[in-house]
Amino acid sequence: MFDQIKLSAWQAGLRGTLPQLSPQLSLPLRVELWNGERIDLSPDPPQVTIRIPGPAALRYLRSPSLYSLGRAYVEGAIEVIGRAADIIAVGNALAASGAVSGTASGAAPDTMRGRLAGALGLRKKRTRESDRDAIRYHYDVSNEFYAAWLDPNMVYSCAYFEDGDEDLATAQRKKIDHILRKIDLRPGQTLLDIGCGWGALVLRAAEQFGARCVGITLSENQAALARERVAQAELQDRIEIRLQDYRDVDGRFERITSVGMFEHVGVQHLKDYFARVADLLAPGGVAMNHGITTTDVDNGATPYGGGQFIDEYVFPQGELAHLATVVRAMQEGGLEVRDVENLRRHYAHTCALWTDNFESNAAHIRTLTDPRRFRIWHVYLAGCAYAFAHDRISLYQIVCGKAGSDVAQLPWSRKYMYA
């Protein structure tokens, strides 16, 4: 009885906070209690149902945040039914209501934590071993798992929707071509792809652009499949796939790409990372960094505990930097920024398509992993789509060259990118 009284108070308090957030905000949520009672938080039919198996699980609703709600769902403390996009929208509304009413940690604590960590140098301690383990935790689920919801070429990064109506496979091919044109890749040039995934970019670079490529990854699963694909394409003479840390690469390359990798480097290590890119770049060479950034200028976590959830369950050791931090680190590392493009809208759409694929193939995906990991990815992909759509995170492609290069090496315009 005491718990039901508290739930009723929580329900009334939540409804009282909603008008402060937005007069148009609705919450199509049903809460089903262990005793069969149902509580609807909107006159409209519910799109999301949260089932509470017992009184102990009520604490997740009394102090809702994206972390607490996500943790409860992933660990099986509550059951959540609905489309992933609706679950994330309702979860954000609950978390925002808690922040307004003071019942949950909102943006301010996360932001302050980011500022304090940056000021005191308390960012995550990392070693080569921790970096390798974090990569393998995320990417070595199984190749079959990723193939179930990615495009046929298994490109696990932001697609490029040139017209906006492309299917995922077409948009991913256009993304790769967009990158290779931006770096002005020419036949016979050497290309290093840092974080090559399952090899889609180096395959395209060798086959369509005539480049000689080295792709590196820390994921054994990715390296194995990438090598198989290179052999199937009979491109072993032009492509080498290595299981290698970027810090161990030797030589000089006329072109360097890094797509969706630098998020694993760590904010405090960005200068060293870009210095290594500059060292590996041949004189007159061009590099591109394609990666996710935070929109918090102090490099803090995303609001309402979303960053904490991703850190614990999805990307251990991952850190996002603000664009300003990235550009500064590039310059400090010996690189000159030449071109910057915001692809936030493209990544929101990419993640939405991945979410649709994941849910359409849910029955098959359940056979490829355990229930806990299934639930992690169920909400993670939709959560990313929401975060990109609402300007909490962004995606930038940054083209750069060695600082101090002769000005004649810079192009007059962007025409060459859109030939």
Q: Is the pLDDT of residue 403 over 50?
A: yes
Q: Tell me the whole-structure pTM to 2 decimals.
A: 0.89
Q: What DSSP string describes 378-401?
A: HHHHHHHHHHHHTTSEEEEEEEEE
pLDDT of residue 159: 98
pLDDT of residue 166: 98
The rounded distance, in Å, linking the Cα atoms of 368 and 362 is 10
- What is the band of 139 on the pLDDT scale with cuts at 50, 70, 90? confident
CA nearest neighbour of 10 among 74, 101, 78: 101
Phi then psi for residue 384, to 5 deg, are -65, -45
| Residue 384 annotated to the active site | yes
Q: What DSSP string describes 295-348?
A: S-TT--PPGGGHHHHHHHHT-TT----BHHHHHHHHHHTTEEEEEEEE-HHHHH
Q: Going along 295-407, which residue ranges are E strands? A: 335-342, 393-402
Q: At what angle do helices 344-360 and 371-389 cross, to 10 degrees?
A: 150
Residues 196-220 pLDDT 10s = 999 999 999 999 999 999 999 999 9
The rounded distance, in Å, linking the Cα atoms of 91 and 98 is 11
Residues 323-365 pLDDT 10s = 999 999 999 999 999 999 999 999 999 999 999 999 999 999 9
Helical spans, DSSP H, in 249-313 = 270-280, 306-313
- What is the band of 399 on the pLDDT scale with cuts at 50, 70, 90? very high
Residues 81-120 pLDDT 10s = 999 999 999 999 988 876 545 544 444 444 444 444 444 3
Top pLDDT among 191 and 313 is at: 191
Mean pLDDT of the chain: 88
Residues 267-304 pLDDT 10s = 999 999 999 999 999 999 999 999 999 999 999 888 88
- What is the band of 41 on the pLDDT scale with cuts at 50, 70, 90? confident
Q: Is the pLDDT of residue 15 over 60?
A: no
- What is the band of 12 on the pLDDT scale with cuts at 50, 70, 90? low
CA nearest neighbour of 191 among 292, 259, 247, 143: 259
Q: Is the pLDDT of residue 193 over 60?
A: yes
Q: Are strands 29-32 and 38-40 parallel, antiparallel or unpaired?
A: antiparallel
Q: Give the active site residue among 213, 351, 384, 400.
A: 384
137 neighbors 316 (Cβ within 8 angstroms): yes
Q: Are strands 281-294 and 253-259 parallel, antiparallel or unpaired?
A: parallel
pLDDT of residue 132: 75
CA nearest neighbour of 81 among 44, 35, 37, 28: 28
Residue 265 neighbours by CB under 8 Å, 6+ apart: 273, 319
CA nearest neighbour of 289 among 364, 195, 221: 195
Q: Is the pLDDT of residue 3 over 70?
A: no
Residues 52-87 pLDDT 10s = 999 989 888 877 899 999 999 999 999 999 999 999
* 282: helix, strand or coil: strand
